[in-house]
């Protein structure tokens, strides 16, 4: 009986090592968490007031893009583009929506031939961006973040 008791005590002491958990430092946990985050995607896209009714991520993104494009089109369609030749060019507009919801124009990439034909096109694009309605910022894990994107503006004359 005495040997059985000692055997049980030895087995229980040997089994304690299987119940130990490894402690993870906060730095290790932080590094592991950073690796799992997709930094190229946001959880919620920037929203115009008219798009806040959409809770679906895809529908919200589509509403944001359509509202942005339609406001840009309104600003540019009021200008009378007259050219001596037919032009079909894509102007790339780089925009940033800050974590406060402010929209900033970064750059406008325009072909030199188009720029000489329409010297005011950069000013028109800037004015149409400045006239955009207010935005709610994008969110990543519940935190407002800044997002940047490129918008193609197709300029076509006949």
Please say if the pLDDT value at position 30 is more than 70. Answer: no
- Mean pLDDT for all residues in the chain: 80
Please report the DSSP string for 58-106 in residue order: HHHHHHHHHHHHHHHHHHHHTS----SS--EEEEEEEEEE-TTS-EEEE
Mean pLDDT of 130-153: 86
First to last CA, the chain: 104
CB neighbourhood size of 48 (10 A): 19
Please say if the pLDDT value at position 86 is more than 80. Answer: no
Q: What is the pLDDT of residue 71?
A: 85
Mean pLDDT of 131-142: 86
pTM over 0.75: no
Q: What is the pLDDT of residue 3?
A: 74
Please say if the pLDDT value at position 16 is more than 60. Answer: no
H or E segment to which residue 95 belongs = strand 88-97
pLDDT in tens, 17-26: 555 666 667 7
Mean pLDDT of 77-81: 74
Mean pLDDT of 137-143: 85
Interior angle at CA 52, CA 48 and CA 55, nearest 5: 135
Please say if the pLDDT value at position 29 is more than 80. Answer: no
- Structural domain 47-156, CATH architecture: 2-Layer Sandwich (3.30)
Domain boundaries, the chain: 2-36, 47-156
Tell me the CB-side half-sphere exposure of residue 1, using CA atoms within 13 A: 0
């Amino acid at each position: 009986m005495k040997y059985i008791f000692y055997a049980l005590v030895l087995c229980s002491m040997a089994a304690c090592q299987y119940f130990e958990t490894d402690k993870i430092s906060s730095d290790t946990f932080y590094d592991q968490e950073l690796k799992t985050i997709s930094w190229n995607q946001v959880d919620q896209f920037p929203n115009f007031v008219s798009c806040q009714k959409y809770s679906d991520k895809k529908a919200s993104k589509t509403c944001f893009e359509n509202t942005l494009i339609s406001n840009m089109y309104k600003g540019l369609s009021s200008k009378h583009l007259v050219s001596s030749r037919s032009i079909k060019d894509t102007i790339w507009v780089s925009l940033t929506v800050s974590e406060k919801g402010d929209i900033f124009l970064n750059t406008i990439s325009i072909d030199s031939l188009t720029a000489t034909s329409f010297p005011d096109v950069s000013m028109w694009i800037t004015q149409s961006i400045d006239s955009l309605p207010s935005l709610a910022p994008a969110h990543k894990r519940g935190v407002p973040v800044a997002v940047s994107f490129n918008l193609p503006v197709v300029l076509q004359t006949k």
